[in-house]
């Protein structure tokens, strides 16, 4: 039984505070691309390890850099002058007892498939160079995977924090980007690229959204046509956000734009992502594991994407802390807001954290002592079932970006 510490927070919930800032980096953002591709590689590599070895072997595919290419933007269609470069790095297991694993081939194949599936105009054979820099892991960390048991030992001394519930602004930020990158929206507005970022600022019950959306130059005939389509999209976004319960939601789209400056005054891309010629990306600079960057919340320092799902606390506790927090909100009456902190010790079983700390903001009239046992039981139950949780992580059922 891990040490479980409970604490009542005597402060307003995030929604009761005077301001809140939330960010979401969308599907075609260079940072999101790095996170999503590395996570896909981990999922596919885990499946290959299971198929060939019957178990998931040591790997951490959590270092990546997407270096921007060079592009010339033109009305009715620009050109790619230099491809993007995706550098995939860190550690993996290449061979176990004579069984070889084609790690580099799996990594490149998976990355190409991700681009084909998610970015309409990116041809990974033409538009991306791949540089695979994966090496063997250290003997000490690989040895963790040789130690038998229901669960493995943690491969790092690390901490994570999760929370629940999401605020209405957090939901709005997440759902707005997902709507703008939906098939329905792209069919109606093919000019809209996948590189979308939503930044939300709430001041009391008023919200201001600043949205950055890459326009695809082949669908833009002129400067006036750009602003015409931008106005149409802006009206649709305003209709979408009107469904949320705020006094006002103001929306600004592509605020760097300036009329009269031609191509230079517009946010244009050739491929729907600014990585084609403007900005690079890196693992860990994107969304937290619940899909947003919530600046008013405590957040974990570890990047979860690409880390192995059975031993690396940087992934497991990152996601599990949020899941435990959500269970506490769903299953225990009387909690308005909760934070769950998990700390590991390297080598110790992942279901036995050094500490599991729960902070709660309670509803009026509710006493912590009345729900202490329920909180402890919920936390203990989630830790006891960590093996199944890790299986879901390994299969990609649980998203981390």
Place 119 in a pLDDT band, splitting at 50, 70 and 90: very high
Provide the pLDDT for residue 150: 75
354 vs 159: CA distance, rounded Å: 10
Whether the Cβ atoms of residue 94 and residue 103 lie closer than 8 Å to each other? yes
**Percentage above 70 pLDDT, the chain:** 97
Q: Which of these, 280, 267, 315, lies nearest to 42 by C-alpha position?
A: 315
145: pLDDT strictly greater than 80? no
For domain 168-280, give its CATH number from 3.30.300.340, 3.60.15.10, 3.30.70.2860, 3.90.550.10: 3.30.300.340
131: pLDDT strictly greater than 80? yes
| Mean pLDDT along residues 237-246 | 96
- 310 three-state secondary structure: coil
What's the chain's average pLDDT?
95
263: pLDDT strictly greater than 80? yes
Instruction: Show Cβ contacts of residue 4 under 8 Å, excluding neighbours closer than 6 positions.
Output: 355, 356, 357, 358, 375, 376, 379, 380
* Residue 15 DSSP symbol: G
178: its two tokens: 């997902």
143: pLDDT strictly greater than 70? no
339 vs 316: CA distance, rounded Å: 16
Q: What are phi and psi of 182, to 5 degrees?
A: -75, 160
36: its two tokens: 């999503």
| Mean pLDDT along residues 233-246 | 97
1: pLDDT strictly greater than 70? no
Q: Is 236 exposed, middle or buried (0-12, 13-18, 19+ CB in 10 A)?
A: middle
| Mean pLDDT along residues 354-383 | 96
| Mean pLDDT along residues 98-102 | 92
379: pLDDT strictly greater than 90? yes
334: its two tokens: 């009387």
CATH code for the structural domain at 4-15+157-167+286-395: 3.30.300.280
Q: How far apart are the first and last CA of the chain?
A: 31
Q: Domain spans of the chain?
A: 4-15+157-167+286-395, 30-143, 168-280
- Give the DSSP letter string of 116-150: HHH-TT--HHHHEEEEEEEEEPPHHHHHHTTS-SS
| Mean pLDDT along residues 263-284 | 97
Q: What is the pTM of this model?
A: 0.95
22: pLDDT strictly greater than 80? yes
Q: Do domains 4-15+157-167+286-395 and 30-143 have the same CATH topology?
A: yes
Dihedral class, residue 23 (left if φ above 0, else alpha if ψ from -120 to 50, else beta): beta
* β-pairing verdict for 70-72 and 248-253: unpaired
172 vs 175: CA distance, rounded Å: 5
146: pLDDT strictly greater than 80? no
Residue identified by tokens 């990974």 is 124
Domain 30-143 class in CATH:
alpha beta
Provide the pLDDT for residue 301: 85
- 340 three-state secondary structure: strand
Provide the pLDDT for residue 2: 76
142: pLDDT strictly greater than 70? no
Could you tell me where the beta strands, DSSP code E, fall in 183-331? 192-203, 206-216, 248-253, 268-269, 281-282, 293-294
| Mean pLDDT along residues 349-378 | 96
Angle (CA) 84-191-70 rounded to 5° is 20
The DSSP element (H or E) to which 269 belongs, if any, is strand 268-269
Provide the pLDDT for residue 147: 66
Provide the pLDDT for residue 137: 73
Place 97 in a pLDDT band, splitting at 50, 70 and 90: confident
What would the pLDDT profile of 291-309 be if each residue is shown by its tens digit? Answer: 999 999 999 889 999 999 9
Least confident of 134-143, 177-186, 348-357, 384-393: 134-143
């Amino acid at each position: 039984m891990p040490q479980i510490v409970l604490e009542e927070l005597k402060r307003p919930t995030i929604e009761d505070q005077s301001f809140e800032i939330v960010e979401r980096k969308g599907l075609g953002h260079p940072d999101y691309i790095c996170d999503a591709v590395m996570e896909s590689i981990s999922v596919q590599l885990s499946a290959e390890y299971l198929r060939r070895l019957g178990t998931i072997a040591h790997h951490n595919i959590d270092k990546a850099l997407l270096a921007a290419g060079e592009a010339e933007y033109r009305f009715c269609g620009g050109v790619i002058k230099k491809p993007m470069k995706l550098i995939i790095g860190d550690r993996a297991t290449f061979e176990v007892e004579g069984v070889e694993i084609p790690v580099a081939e799996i990594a490149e194949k998976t990355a190409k498939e991700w681009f084909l599936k998610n970015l309409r105009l990116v041809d990974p054979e033409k538009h991306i160079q791949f540089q695979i820099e994966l090496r063997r892991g250290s003997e000490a960390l690989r040895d963790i995977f040789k130690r038998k048991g229901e669960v493995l030992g943690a491969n790092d001394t690390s901490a994570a924090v999760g929370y629940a519930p999401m605020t209405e602004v957090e939901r709005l930020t997440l759902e707005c980007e997902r709507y703008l990158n939906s098939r329905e929206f792209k069919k109606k507005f093919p000019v809209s690229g996948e590189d979308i970022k939503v930044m939300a600022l709430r001041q009391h019950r008023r919200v201001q959204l600043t949205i950055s959306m890459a326009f695809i130059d082949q669908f833009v005939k002129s400067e006036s046509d750009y602003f015409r389509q931008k106005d149409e999209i802006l009206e649709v976004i305003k209709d979408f956000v009107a469904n949320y319960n705020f006094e006002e939601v103001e929306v600004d789209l592509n605020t760097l734009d300036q009329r009269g400056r031609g191509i230079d005054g517009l946010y244009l891309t050739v491929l729907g992502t600014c990585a084609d010629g403007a900005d690079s990306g890196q693992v860990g600079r994107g969304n937290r594991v619940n899909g947003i960057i919530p600046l008013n919340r405590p957040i974990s320092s570890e990047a979860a994407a690409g880390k192995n799902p059975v031993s690396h606390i940087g992934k497991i506790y990152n996601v599990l802390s949020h899941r435990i927090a959500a269970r506490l909100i769903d299953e225990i009456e009387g909690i308005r807001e909760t934070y769950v902190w998990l700390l590991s010790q390297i080598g110790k079983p992942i279901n036995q954290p050094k500490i599991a700390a729960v902070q709660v903001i309670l509803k009026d009239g509710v006493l912590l002592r009345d729900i202490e046992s329920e909180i402890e039981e919920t936390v203990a139950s989630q830790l006891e079932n960590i093996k199944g949780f890790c299986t879901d992580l390994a299969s990609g059922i649980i998203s981390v970006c």
